[in-house]
């Protein structure tokens, strides 16, 4: 990892992320810190994918085409469920997203 000069407060900027400047002394703790950074990046990309799929459905609803919105919701449902299965978001939150999107499509004239 490339680290730049440490700013005030004992923090360093690593790959556009701020991390604590103090490093663990025990090897297993250092490894867990490395793994945490990697999993944080992975989980962030999954959360972004979730938000993008929800936005796609909302955009389809805004256009007023009920059939296209339904098709987009069906595609997004799989993405939402898979991310909930990985516990990136809580399963009840995923159910709430799907329910509100489905209700918005149902309310379309």
pTM over 0.85: no
Q: In angstroms, how far is the first alpha carbon of the chain from the final one? A: 54
Residues 6-25, mean pLDDT to the nearest whole number: 61
CATH superfamily, domain 11-106, is Ribosomal protein S20 (1.20.58.110)
Residues 37-56, mean pLDDT to the nearest whole number: 96
What percent of the chain is modeled with pLDDT above 70?
A: 81
Residues 35-46, mean pLDDT to the nearest whole number: 96
Could you state, in order of their start, the residue ranges of all structural domains in the chain?
11-106
Ranges of beta strands (E only) in 1-79 are 11-14, 17-20
Locate 80 and state its tokens.
């939402």
Question: For residues 44-58, b (16+ Cβ closer than 10 Å) or e, as one string?
Answer: eeeeeebeebbebbe
């Amino acid at each position: 990892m490339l680290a730049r000069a440490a700013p005030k407060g004992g923090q360093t900027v690593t790959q556009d992320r701020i991390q604590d400047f103090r490093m663990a002394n025990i090897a297993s703790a250092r490894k867990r810190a490395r793994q945490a950074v990697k999993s944080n990046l992975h989980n962030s990309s999954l959360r972004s994918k979730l938000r993008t799929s929800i936005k796609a459905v909302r955009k389809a609803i805004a256009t007023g085409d009920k059939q296209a919105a339904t098709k987009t919701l069906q595609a997004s449902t799989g993405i939402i469920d898979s991310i909930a299965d990985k516990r990136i978001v809580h399963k009840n939150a995923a159910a709430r997203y799907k329910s509100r999107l489905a209700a918005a499509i149902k309310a379309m004239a």
